[in-house]
Amino acid sequence: MAEAPHIPVLLGPLLRAVQPVQGTWVDGTFGAGGYARGLLEQGVDRVIGIDRDPAVFRMAEAWAGEYGDRLRLVQGTFSDLDRLAGGPVDGVVLDLGVSSMQLDQPERGFSFLRDGPLDMRMGGDGPSAADLLNTAPEQVIADVLYLYGEERASRRIARAIVAARPLSRTGQLSDIVAGCLPRPKPGQSHPSTRAFQAIRIWVNDEFGQLVAGLAAAERALRPGGKLAVVSFHSLEDRIVKRFMQARSNSAGGGSRYAPEAAREEPAFTLPFRRAIGADEAELAANPRARSALLRVGIRTAAPAGRVDPAALGLPLLSERGA
């Protein structure tokens, strides 16, 4: 038997939260296949694994055959998961953000710790990080850093990026960012963390994909179906939280976030009042789990509704800058 992939963050809590697991599930962010494997081991009939990165399917060849036709792999984005699934499903799991295996490959350009081409594209198509940073106006770059990465030194960093153009390597970008910020104290994150995160989100339109993916999950799930979303970024979690509140009518009648959705029949019920985090054992084994939050919704029989990105707190840029 092939070596099992790394256990993904919050796998145990997720599987407990969505019991009983049965029928057909979509793993919309297949990655190393950990969630898909966990669901299959729990006894679901079938998992449809979707990922925009073709490299993950080559890596899965070593073990995917163990599950035969119970596992179907599809290249695409989870924003299109309802079409890719081909029919109603019993569950959808989304693990947001970049995977550790992508960070571990310098040639992908995601890591500020390993020098490589300034790429950051998950699917290999569209403009790269270098393309955007070398052509976008300074104000757009500053907005990306501030809105997508909550980087307080966004204007200073954007000015330095424009002054240093053209950029082609992750090492160049990391040095520019670090030169604009104070030296980190012991225990603080690397100074490039927020900037690299923001630019990666920009390159891959991750927030736009998330909103579209949540709407696609609502369309795909049959009544009683479960939506489970794991996020690592406060802005991602805010979008997920507001989506589930708006689509379950639990935001309150006076909410300014989704006044129209509050008049619709609820599309979800929420089995947990709060997001689920990692326990001490998982935190000790995997420090990356510290920022992870799991939210779960259960689909009702109500028709799928319209989703307003602005009402979900989606940070909007005035232009892409490509």
State the amino acid at position 316 in one-letter form.
L
Is residue 93 scored above 90 in pLDDT?
yes
Closest listed residue to residue 290, CA positions, set 100, 3, 10: 10
Q: Is the pLDDT of residue 210 over 80?
A: yes
Four-residue CA torsion sign, 14, 18, 23, 26: negative
pLDDT at 50 over 60: yes
Can you tell me the mean pLDDT for 128-132? Answer: 97
For the cut 70, the answer to whether the pLDDT of residue 125 exceeds it is: yes
Q: Which domains does the chain have, with CATH numbers?
A: 11-100+207-312 (3.40.50.150), 115-204 (1.10.150.170)
pLDDT at position 109, please?
74
Does the pLDDT at position 262 exceed 60? no
Mean pLDDT of 246-260: 64
Residue 128 has which token pair? Answer: 């790269």
Give me the sign of the Cα torsion angle 174, 198, 292, 152: positive
How far apart (Å, rounded) are the C-alpha atoms in residues 262 and 254?
Answer: 9
Say if residue 109 carries a ligand binding annotation.
Answer: no
What is the per-residue pLDDT for 261? 43
How is residue 3 annotated by DSSP?
Answer: P
Q: What is the mean pLDDT of residues 111-122?
A: 90
Q: 3 or 171: which carries more pLDDT confidence?
A: 171
At residue 2, the pLDDT reads 42
What per-residue confidence (pLDDT) applies to 5? 47
Please indicate if the annotation marks 45 as binding a ligand: no
**Biggest alpha carbon distance in the chain?**
56
35 assigned binding-site residue: yes
143 carries a ligand binding annotation: no
Q: Name the residue among 313, 231, 221, 234 with its Cα closest to residue 268.
A: 221
Looking at the predicted structure, is the pLDDT value of residue 88 above 70?
yes
The backbone torsions φ and ψ at residue 75, rounded to the nearest 5 degrees and listed phi first, read -80, 130
Instruction: Find out whether 33 is annotated in a ligand binding site.
Output: yes
Per-residue pLDDT, averaged over 301-309, amounts to: 91
Given a cut of 60, is residue 3 above it in pLDDT?
A: no
Q: Which pLDDT band, with edges at 50, 70 and 90, does 263 fall under? A: low
Mean pLDDT, the chain, rounded, equals 89
Given this model, what pLDDT does residue 256 score?
A: 52
Task: Determine the Cα–Cα distance for residues 125 and 114; give it in Å rounded to an integer.
Answer: 22
- What pLDDT is attached to residue 82? 97
Tally of CB atoms within 10 A around 107:
9
pLDDT band of 252, cuts 50, 70, 90: low
253 or 143: whose pLDDT is higher? 143
Alpha-carbon gap, residue 156 to 133, rounded angstroms: 15
Flag whether pLDDT at 200 surpasses 70: yes
Whether residue 209 is annotated as binding a ligand: the answer is: no
- Nearest to 269, CA basis, from 314, 219, 218, 231: 218
- Whole-angstrom CA distances from 241 to 10, 74, 270, 295 are 17, 27, 10, 7
- State pLDDT tens for residues 138-171: 999 999 999 999 999 999 999 999 999 999 999 9
pTM: 0.89
Annotated binding residue 80: no
Residues 6 or more apart in contact with residue 10 via CB below 8 angstroms? 230, 276, 277, 278, 282, 289, 292, 294
pLDDT-derived band at 184 (thresholds 50, 70, 90) equals confident
| Residue 18: partners with Cβ closer than 8 Å, 6 or more residues away | 91, 226, 228, 296
Whether residue 87 contacts residue 221, with contact meaning beta carbons closer than 8 Å, is answered with: no
